[in-house]
Amino acid sequence: MNSVGEKETKICPKCGSRDLEVEKTWNLTSPLPDRYGRITLTIMGVLRCKRCGYRWKTTISKLKIGAKVEIEGAERVIEEEEKRPPKEIVLDMDEIRKEEES
């Protein structure tokens, strides 16, 4: 069992070895954002055990990309949005009427 923040290491499902090689990787992008507006990017890969030669497909990592980026449970703030005051537009009806009359 992994403690919080400890990196999960992959093991061979046949022999239990941790001596693995990533042969190929590709990205899967979720078509819909989560409830916080983040898009999930899943990095898949083909792993090969160097001891027994067994090959299988598995998830390498997951990234949730948005205002905050979460990488397999470790949340990191990349860039905080600046909260700008709303733009205030002031109209003087007397000036508008004068322009219409001219």
Position 72, amino acid: E
Q: What is the mean pLDDT of residues 35-61?
A: 90
Distance, in Å, from the CA atom of 12 to the CA atom of 35, rounded to the nearest integer, reads: 35
Q: What is the structure's pLDDT at 89? A: 81
Per-residue model confidence as pLDDT tens digits over 74-96: 555 555 556 677 788 888 888 88
Q: What is the mean pLDDT of residues 26-53?
A: 90
Report pTM: 0.57
**For the chain, what is the radius of gyration of the CA atoms?**
26
Distance, in Å, from the CA atom of 101 to the CA atom of 46, rounded to the nearest integer, reads: 76
Q: What is the structure's pLDDT at 28? A: 92
**Residue ranges of domains in the chain:** 1-78
Check: CB of residue 35 under 8 Å from CB of residue 44. no
Per-residue model confidence as pLDDT tens digits over 13-32: 898 888 899 999 999 998 88
Between 6 and 39, residue with greater pLDDT: 39
